[in-house]
Structure 1
Amino acid sequence: MSLHNKGTIPALSAWMAAALLAVTPAHGFDLQSGEPITINADSGRMDDTRGIATYSGDVVVTQGTTRLSADRVMLYRDEGELSRIEASGRPARYQQPTEAGKGETDAQALSITYASRDGLLILEQEAVIKQDGNLFRGDIIHYDTAQRVVTAEGTTREDNSKGRIEIIIQPRPQN
């Protein structure tokens, strides 16, 4: 059977897109959620004038069941709202239960940035997102939570060619 049969490519593309969107977190930390954000770290510095807080050393940020762990985390506040979170580590890790509550999204990279106003989650360097056996791996992964669009890039090699991304999609359970 050829993949070029009418309807096969669009159906496969739609199925892959749905599976990839399922492995990404739907939202991140939110000061308006009603739940407190708790931060544990070896050290911290808050510059209230600039709206920047920096935490270092085994940093763990939690809000409800959402968890971010990293070597260093910077929180940026603008007009009383959390506007951006930058985390770095070996690796930095973002974990959140799925919306259905039947699993967990586990995202990790050397650098994780969450821009709450734009709803953009950016994983850079050795980026991996896993959920329920599905996997999305690349050097850079961008997830627009508002538009539900995922883009990924492979690493740039020494000869300036692009590396590849890896996607593993588990089969849907049979009814």
Structure 2
Amino acid sequence: MPLRLLAPLLALLALPALAQGTGVGFGSGSFDRGAPVEVAADSLEVDQATGQAVLTGNVVIAQGDLRLSAERVDVFYSAGEEQRIDRLEAKGDVLIVAGEDAAEGETAVYQLGSAEILMTGDVVVTQGGATLAGDRLAVNLETGSGTVTGRVRTTLQP
């Protein structure tokens, strides 16, 4: 096979590896869902009819070692009598800190029932001096496992 035809073939074979993403540990995996939740924001709007609350302006939500900050967080409640928080949707300069690990991006959706976070938009994960960047981060807080996908970038120290 001529060398000029081999290069595009090798490039195509490399694409699935980039699409699969890179596994990353995030948090300690010992997340306490029973810990009290502390919330601070400049403004709070509650719509009883839709079961939604909107926090805006310097929003900070903390539970145990987990802290989420953003410009806006929409709070969605589950249907039923207990009205538990089902999910949080954070937008604008989102920062999530779990223990000594941190991740930042443009948006994040936190599903409380499954303890899963999906962060998108120029995601940067920082862990003890190491930095990993990509388009998307999916994290399970109970297991502490995560995956960065999209165009994954990092700097490896020798």
Letter in 2 for 1:143: V
Cα shift readout 1:98-143 (whole Å, capped 9, x = no counterpart): xxxxxx1111101011112233211100111111123321011112
Letter in 1 for 2:95: R
Query: Is 1:74 the counterpart of 2:74 in the alignment?
Result: yes
Percent identity over paired residues: 27
Residue 166 of structure 1 aligns with which residue?
153
Residue correspondence of structure 1 range 29-68 to structure 2 within 5 A? 30=33, 33=34, 35-68=35-68
Whether the 8 Å contact between 1:86 and 1:113 is mirrored in structure 2 is yes
Change (3 A) 1:84 1:170: farther
TM-score, structure 1 as length reference: 0.64
Corresponding pairs, count: 133
Whether the 8 Å contact between 1:68 and 1:94 is mirrored in structure 2 is yes
Change (3 A) 1:170 1:83: farther
Larger radius of gyration: 2
Q: Which has the higher contact order (CA 8 A, sep 6+)?
A: 2
Change (3 A) 1:170 1:115: farther
Change (3 A) 1:118 1:63: closer
Whether the 8 Å contact between 1:138 and 1:153 is mirrored in structure 2 is yes
Specify which structure has the higher proportion of strand: 2
**Structure 2 Cα separation of the partners of residues 66 and 146 of structure 1:** 12
TM-score, structure 2 as length reference: 0.70
Whether the 8 Å contact between 1:133 and 1:170 is mirrored in structure 2 is no
**Structure 2 Cα separation of the partners of residues 151 and 66 of structure 1:** 18
Residue 109 of structure 1 aligns with which residue?
105
Residue 94 of structure 1 aligns with which residue?
96
**Structure 2 Cα separation of the partners of residues 27 and 48 of structure 1:** 33
| Stretches of structure 2 lacking an aligned partner (at least 5 in a row) | 1-21
Query: Is 1:152 the counterpart of 2:120 in the alignment?
Result: no
Q: C-alpha root-mean-square deviation of aligned residues, in Å?
A: 2.6
